[in-house]
Amino acid sequence: MQGGQQVDLWNRAIEHIEQQISDGAGYRSDGEVDVAALARITLTSEYHFRRMFSVLAGMPVSEYIRRRRMTAAASAVVSGDEPLQDVAVRFGYASADAFSRAFRAVHGVNPAEARRAGAVLRSQPPLRFSLSVKGKQQMDYRLQNEDAFTLVGRRRRMPLVHHGPNPALEQFREELGLEVLREISSLSTRSPRGVLAVSTDFAEDRADGSTFEYWLAAATDEAPAAGSGHESLNVPPHQWLVLESQGMETEEVQQLWAKAYGEWFPANPYEPLAEPELLATVFDQEGKPDHMELWLAVSATG
């Protein structure tokens, strides 16, 4: 599919969101966004849609819909004398209290305060996707097939940080200590080599501050030894997209995800799979850390 056609489909998904909000059906009865319908419009999986939307829009799809919904609700609140309970019901809330809490979370004031002169409200305009010129610098990548393997190491639940260092990750590494990390490294028997930073079990929209499972582990074909204190995670056979960073700086490494979802996937007939994401350290000839590799399991869409 050509880039222009993809853009048209994504804009059609935005129009569908607007129609849902206008019809008062932007959310299911359980309060969740019907992202599956949006994914069908863009001819992608729901997993791929969520990841792509977050990168392209700079926010999770659920946050975008919440902002758009409350922007429309604010217009309804301030433009007439419609009872607030009726406005709440029209926008899918069972009670005025629930509507008031959601309204305040976005606008900083409740609906009654919004009707007073001088109230300051926030507006989220509809998104519009368009083609832009990128790729002025070539991107080095490879596609690599790997048989099933086992990740063996230590894990901890972590808060997700999109920009800058994640103190919880650094604390986890420090608490494990050099001896445990060397032990994990010695378990590495296959590619990708060494101690891997593994991220998995994310919240659906990967919102900043949501939690995920973080591992420091090695790829191997063996289960952990009894009494080692290590845990294991089985990874099925897949084709993997491997992207390289230009260095070891935190921001450069974090940009690997933005390049994958903002540049590589839109230009190639693949989509990501809901599998662990691996970050491997590559060393130079002197044994010093040189750059990082991001490994993402992928599936061809053609």
Tell me the DSSP string of 129-141.
-------SS---E
Q: Where in the chain is the domain with CATH 3.20.80.10?
A: 141-300
**Model confidence pLDDT, tens digit, residues 52-62:** 898 888 888 98
Q: Which fold has domain 141-300?
A: Multidrug-efflux Transporter 1 Regulator Bmrr; Chain A (3.20.80)
- Is residue 137 over pLDDT 70? no
The Cα angle at residue 80 between residues 75 and 81, in degrees rounded to 5: 130
**Model confidence pLDDT, tens digit, residues 14-45:** 999 988 887 765 444 334 568 999 999 999 89
**Model confidence pLDDT, tens digit, residues 80-116:** 778 888 888 888 888 889 899 999 999 999 898 988 8
**Model confidence pLDDT, tens digit, residues 153-208:** 999 999 998 878 899 999 999 999 999 999 999 999 999 999 999 999 998 888 88
Instruction: Tell me the C-alpha to C-alpha distance, in Å, between residue 85 and each of 22, 89, 97, 117, 158.
Output: 17, 6, 9, 21, 39
The C-alpha atoms of residue 55 and residue 299 are separated, in whole angstroms, by 19
CB atoms within 10 A of CB 1: 12
Percent of the chain exceeding pLDDT 90 equals 46
* pLDDT at site 31: 42
* pLDDT at site 3: 54
- Is residue 139 over pLDDT 50? yes
pLDDT-based confidence at 151, cuts 50/70/90? very high
Q: Where in the chain is the domain with CATH 1.10.10.60?
A: 3-114
Q: CATH class for domain 3-114?
A: mainly alpha
Do 206 and 50 form a contact (C-beta atoms < 8 A)?
Answer: yes
